[in-house]
Structure 1
């Protein structure tokens, strides 16, 4: 494709970018900065990474296109304050392969509430009280075994289990008895759930994942948890029952949020940290028990 086609796409998306260079250059592929190729698009975060040696190597590549926050003399540049986002929006539009919308013959699908252009992979089990929104993708071996609504444009990766009972017990003397879970799971639009993550059904109120929540692989979401919009939940994280994660929060790898704890808006819980008490808005906590490190500035678009 010509660079001019990329610029036209960004214009239709309302992206605030400027361009320097030759708009008739041809782009065939994408690369990282360790593997420079002709006719390729790249991105760079700051000038710190734009060494003189790298720039000279880029100049030797035919029709190199750099997405960056500054102009580089002699190289085609799409200049933006958010190079990573612009770069991957270009890749998603021009290079990603469209997936055929099919329901595998090897899937067990008991519901008829399936939207348009939904893909359900081999080995999935979808219960009869499940509703799946338009353009959602369920990769192989996803199990949904409780009342569950899934919004539009969601992607659920292999091995995810949605709807097992949470770990809730009451005691008669010294003998524990399981608490029967009566509610389900509600998942918003544009939600992604990583491979082998488990999301428990609600006990007396639904477990809720709001729009644009992104959950990494191997996470555990307990019963009655609510995760608000735009949260990032990274690999190995455990969110215990009835916790609440407010919008735009970030839970780092292997972090733990204990039951009934609330993590505030734009807050961050650090790697291997345990939030055992409420975390205020816009702060970073670290350690066990997690303690405050510093204020967090709101992310700019």
Structure 2
């Protein structure tokens, strides 16, 4: 069935929608969107997608590829209206919402200037520094330190545009900081749109770092000052980031890897990698290329 999207008559319950997500969704009864041919074909081939927002031009070109029942909602701006539906109805889907019960363990030290919202878990021996802020649906495990001016559970600035109109995308997820994690002054950990941003056991984060939404930082990973880890990036165990490293969103770096000072990482790397440069490259090859350039 094909309809033109009307935000005033959306009925997700009637349509059987149980999830909002990407066209690769592994969850049944998902509503998604596709702005181009590639994502449209993925969506109509994925039986979990039951409703798809797309443009009329994409639909008309590719409708012969639709081989199953799916509701197509036509709109001039699928991305914008998908996130509009998310903002309006997302709180109805329990699997979207991270809900953490308020808890205070033993020997918790919170500086008087720090601000802790409701639905925050603080384990035993947690210390929260001067002017730190911990937003709702955040979990901080035992023996962890949240330094001066640190923000845990930041909303982040993620927008969807429709001409001159814009909306800020709501975040229903949370943050999980596991045991023995140290986050130093003025660093920021953003909460996820859905699910959690996670720092596993014994992660160390130096000053002025920014960890974006839905990242997973493996245990024993160390981040030097002024690092930026883009959204949905995955760092394995015992990864070392040098000062001022930038990692593009969605990147995966395997365990026991080293990313050297000032690197800008825009591709995935396996375990035990040693990488450097802007854009980052395997470190030894990078050095050899530089030597050849320097020597003419």
TM-score band by shorter chain is 0.5 to 0.7
Q: Which structure 2 residues correspond to residues 1-301 of structure 1 after superposition, within 5 A?
A: 113-173=103-163, 175-294=165-284
1:140, 1:158 within 8 Å by CA — same for their partners in 2?
yes
- Identify if the C-alpha distance between structure 1 residues 112 and 291 changes in structure 2 by more than 3 Å, giving closer, same or farther: closer
> Residue by residue, what CA displacement relative to the aligned partner does 1:214-263 show, whole Å, maximum 9, x if unpaired?
00010000011110110001100000111111110011100000000011
**Greater helix proportion:** 2
2:212, 2:231 within 8 Å by CA — same for their partners in 1?
yes
* Secondary structure at the counterpart of residue 163 of structure 1: strand
- Greater mean alpha carbon deviation, residues 173-182 or residues 144-153: 173-182
Query: Offset at 1:174?
Result: 5.2
> Residue by residue, what CA displacement relative to the aligned partner does 1:106-131 show, whole Å, maximum 9, x if unpaired?
xxxxx851000110112010011101
C-alpha distance in 1 between matches for 2:111 and 2:279: 41
* Secondary structure at the counterpart of residue 131 of structure 1: strand
2:199, 2:217 within 8 Å by CA — same for their partners in 1?
yes
Query: Offset at 1:287?
Result: 0.7
Q: TM-score, normalised by structure 2?
A: 0.60
Q: Which runs of 5+ in 2 are unaligned?
A: 1-100, 286-296
C-alpha distance in 1 between matches for 2:276 and 2:153: 31
How well do the aligned residues superpose, as a CA RMSD in angstroms? 1.5
2:18 maps to: none
C-alpha distance in 1 between matches for 2:276 and 2:166: 34
Count how many residue pairs are aligned between Structure 1 and Structure 2.
185
2:102, 2:119 within 8 Å by CA — same for their partners in 1?
no
Q: Which runs of 5+ in 1 are unaligned?
A: 1-110, 296-301
C-alpha distance in 2 between matches for 1:177 and 1:269: 35
C-alpha distance in 2 between matches for 1:140 and 1:274: 32
2:69 maps to: none
C-alpha distance in 2 between matches for 1:174 and 1:256: 31
Q: TM-score, normalised by structure 1?
A: 0.59
2:237, 2:255 within 8 Å by CA — same for their partners in 1?
yes
C-alpha distance in 2 between matches for 1:174 and 1:267: 43
1:146, 1:164 within 8 Å by CA — same for their partners in 2?
no
1:283, 1:294 within 8 Å by CA — same for their partners in 2?
no
